Structure 1
Amino acid sequence: MNLRTIKPFYLNSKKEESNTAAQQDLVEKIQRLRQGKKAIILAHNYQRPEIQDIADFVGDSLELSLCATQTDAKIVVFCGVNFMAETAAILNPEKKVLIPDVNALCPMASMLPKELVKVYRRKYPEAKIVLYINSLAEAKA
């Protein structure tokens, strides 16, 4: 899996006037990098509006991962939580998938650890295991 983290950016929201210019500069830099690196930005529905505004696509987790398969971008920047970027990386093995914060976790995805899946596989070897899309890749494996 080709999953990497990129350094997140933070702006000082207390100084709105200076943020406007800083935000515009940042947006322009992101646009230049996106074009130069052949990247797309995917933003989950839950992301803040300013993140959605610079995204190429906004949607739910599976929709965005599938969207990445339909583009010729070499780099996918997934603004979401870890399992979303994992799914995008699985569906797009030839692309580099970046996530702004690798520690962005989904509590629901963490509810089924891989160790528990192994216990049930041993206990019920003939059973089919069905997992929710919000499960971590290690549990799906």
Structure 2
Amino acid sequence: MTKAEIIQNIALLKKEKNAIILAHYYQEAEIQDIADFVGDSLALAQWAAKTTADIIVLCGVNFMAETAKILSPDKRVFLPDAMASCSLAESCPADEF
């Protein structure tokens, strides 16, 4: 399958499933190119809260997807890489605050 065919299939699936792709600005260009919105973690959370899409695919780290789900509890939120984490967030254990 060519890159163009993959992009076309993703676009069709987004429409069929009423889904959007949100990407953090540090994602690779190929991910940003297919995203409906690219921004920092705050902007992604705000976009997730206001979207009318049923499904949010969040290309970022785990806390960003968690925040999107908290702000959009009735939507399905997917994190393509379940192991994606943030070294800064990991260095601040919640039980220490």
Residue 81 of structure 1 is matched in structure 2 by 61
Normalised by the length of structure 2, the TM-score is 0.93
Residues 11-65 of structure 1, C-alpha deviations (whole Å, 9 max, x = no match)? xxxxxxxxxx521111111111100100000011101111101000011111111
In the TM superposition, what are the counterparts of 1:4-43 in structure 2 within 5 Å?
22-43=2-23
Count, aligned residues: 97
Residue 98 of structure 1 is matched in structure 2 by 78
User: In the aligned structure 1, how far is the partner of 2:61 from the partner of 2:17?
Assistant: 23
Normalised by the length of structure 1, the TM-score is 0.65
Residue 88 of structure 2 is matched in structure 1 by 108
User: In the aligned structure 2, how far is the partner of 1:90 from the partner of 1:110?
Assistant: 19
| Letter of the 1:24 counterpart | A
Query: Identity, % of aligned pairs?
Result: 53
Matched, 1:64 2:44: yes
Instruction: Give 1 or 2: higher helix fraction.
Output: 2
Larger Rg: 1
Runs of 4+ in 1 over 4 A off after TM superposition: none
3-state secondary structure, aligned to 1:52: helix
| Letter of the 1:101 counterpart | D
| Letter of the 1:69 counterpart | A
| Letter of the 1:96 counterpart | R
User: In the aligned structure 1, how far is the partner of 2:65 from the partner of 2:26?
Assistant: 15
Q: Which runs of 5+ in 1 are unaligned?
A: 1-20, 118-141
